[in-house]
Amino acid sequence: MTKLTIEVPEKLAEQLNDYLKAHPEESIAELLDEALQIKLTPKDSSKLLNLAGIVTEAPRGAADHAEDF
């Protein structure tokens, strides 16, 4: 592990401290690790694109008159 020193806005520091008080089973390192993994992991949109490909045919005007179909 690498040790880092960061500065955060006062309001964010207060929210972080409040969260850690409410969740004593979590450490700041675990919380930051989880948040950074979510933010920094490249998004795989292939599943969404496959889902979008399910509709191969749609009647014209279906967007305007969906209740008719």
Q: Give the per-residue pLDDT at 55.
A: 62
Residue-level pLDDT at 12: 95
The predicted pLDDT at position 46 comes to 74
pLDDT digits (tens, 9 = 90+) for 30-68: 999 999 998 888 777 777 777 776 666 666 665 666 665
- Please say if the pLDDT value at position 2 is more than 70: yes
Condensed to tens digits (0 to 9), the pLDDT of residues 4-29 reads: 899 999 999 999 999 999 999 999 99
- Integer-rounded Cα Rg, in Å, for the chain is 22
Helical H segments across the chain, by residue range:
10-22, 28-40, 46-52
